Amino acid sequence: MQPFFMAIIDIIRSRRSVRSYKPDPLTEDQIKAILHAGMLAPSAHNHQPWNFIVITNRDAINRLSMSVQGYLGDKLSASDAISYFGSQERVDRVKKRLELKEDTVFYGAPCVVMVVVDKANLEYGPIDCGMAAENMCLYAREQGIASCIIGYARHASREELIRVGMKESQELMFGMVFGYSDQMDGDPDRDFNKIQKWQK
Ligand SMILES: Cc1cc2nc3c(=O)[nH]c(=O)nc-3n(C[C@H](O)[C@H](O)[C@H](O)COP(=O)(O)O)c2cc1C
Indicate which residue's Cα is closest to atom 17 of ligand 1: 17
Work out the end-to-end distance of the chain between its first and last CA atoms, rounded to an integer number of angstroms.
47
Separation of CA 150 and ligand 1 centre (Å): 7
Indicate which residue's Cα is closest to atom 30 of ligand 1: 149
Q: Which atom of ligand 1 is nearest to the CA of 152?
A: 8
Q: CATH number for the 16-56+105-179 domain, one of 3.60.20.10, 3.90.400.10, 3.40.109.10, 1.10.1060.10?
A: 3.40.109.10
Separation of CA 199 and ligand 1 centre (Å): 32
Predicted TM-score of the model (pTM): 0.94
Per-residue pLDDT of the chain (200 residues; tens, 9 = 90+): 555 678 999 999 999 999 999 999 999 999 999 999 999 999 999 999 999 999 999 999 999 999 999 999 999 999 999 999 999 998 998 888 888 777 889 999 999 999 999 999 999 999 999 999 999 999 999 999 999 999 999 999 999 999 999 999 999 999 999 999 999 999 999 999 999 999 99
Q: At what angle do helices 28-39 and 125-142 cross, to 10 degrees?
A: 130
150/61 Cα distance (integer angstroms) = 13
